[in-house]
Structure 1
Amino acid sequence: MSGGRAGGREPVGIDELLERVRAGFVRLGPAEAAAARTAGALLVDIRYAELRNRDGLIPGALVVERNELEWRLDPRGSHRAPEAVSHDLRIVVVCDEGYASSLAVASLRQLGLHRATDLIGGFQAWRTAGLPVQT
């Protein structure tokens, strides 16, 4: 008997989960994310509206609330965004500080979006680096 634990595995703390998830992909710093965008990557802002309204937006980023992310970026999904054209699409997920985005990338990679990654430090790192922000 598993003792009520999913799959009989021991529970994992969030820090360990983040470490495991992040070991599966190369994360980008702000300058690397900006260069990836210039090279055709899709920046996807998953911050909730209050943070976007407070701090602004990365110009040209696709805004998709976190709870809709998989449905909007699955190239085979019936509710996909027009930008979700291929499993080969380079996607850089942006949250506020770079934590939720890592978990979102893990989910996107399970959908076959193998080039998905995230921005280290999130939107706050982008802004601190002096990269463009639209208010």
Structure 2
Amino acid sequence: MSFLIQNWLLILTALVSGGLLLWPSLRGGAGGGVTPSEAVMLMNREKAVVIDVCEPAEYEAGHIAGARSIPLAGLAEAKNLPSNKSLPLVVVCASGMRSGRAAAALRKLGHENVQSLKGGMRAWREAGLPLQTGA
């Protein structure tokens, strides 16, 4: 017991650092999501719909074939989201940061199976997967 009292600051520091390490995986944020190869499997096997939340200029510069362009700012009022809320969705952006927020927003809208693409379009390009340009 005296050890705990004498080293309370050390113990507190260890608990806080452990909590900070676990936080991304607990909330499903930047650390969560699917890899490009997992996204391709979802698209091919489960007919996942790809939602690109990049701005229009980013989307035109290069996007996944068949992706629906819905910028993050307009996600809540978007008309071209799938009406079947159990259909798998893969959300993508340039780096993977916006897609994490978009995935959380889509879950709040009632979509059951939403995944963010880890690393975004950068990871897609690095994996050598095909891109489509233009609108």
TM bracket (short chain): 0.7 to 0.9
Q: Is the 8 A contact 2:32 2:118 kept in 1?
A: no
1:84-123 Cα offsets, whole Å, 9 max, x none, are 1211011010011111111111111111112011100001
Could you tell me which amino acid in structure 1 is paired with residue 60 of structure 2?
N
Taking structure 2 as the reference length, the TM-score comes to 0.72
Q: What residue in structure 1 maps to residue 96 of structure 2?
A: 98
Instruction: Tell me how large the CA RMSD over aligned residues is.
Output: 2.3
The number of residue pairs the alignment matches comes to 110
1:54-99 Cα offsets, whole Å, 9 max, x none, are 3x12111111111111222xxxxxxx21x51211011010011111
1:37 shift after superposition: 1.1
> For 1:64-83, what aligned pairs fall within 5 Å after superposition?
64-72=70-78, 80-81=79-80
Larger % of helix: which?
2
SS in structure 2 of the partner of residue 44 of structure 1: strand
1:26 shift after superposition: 5.3
Q: What residue in structure 2 maps to residue 27 of structure 1?
A: 33
> Residues 26, 114 of structure 1: CA spacing in aligned structure 2 closer, same or farther, 3 A cutoff?
farther
Could you tell me which amino acid in structure 2 is paired with residue 125 of structure 1?
A
Q: What residue in structure 1 maps to residue 10 of structure 2?
A: none
Q: Is the 8 A contact 2:56 2:69 kept in 1?
A: no
Q: What residue in structure 2 maps to residue 121 of structure 1?
A: 119
Distance in 2, matches of 1:131 and 1:123, equals 10
Q: What residue in structure 1 maps to residue 53 of structure 2?
A: 46
**Structure 2, unaligned stretches of length 5 or more?**
1-19
Higher Cα Rg, which structure: 2
SS in structure 1 of the partner of residue 132 of structure 2: coil
Distance in 2, matches of 1:115 and 1:122, equals 18
Q: Is the 8 A contact 1:21 1:106 kept in 2?
A: no
Question: Percent identity of the aligned residues?
Answer: 32
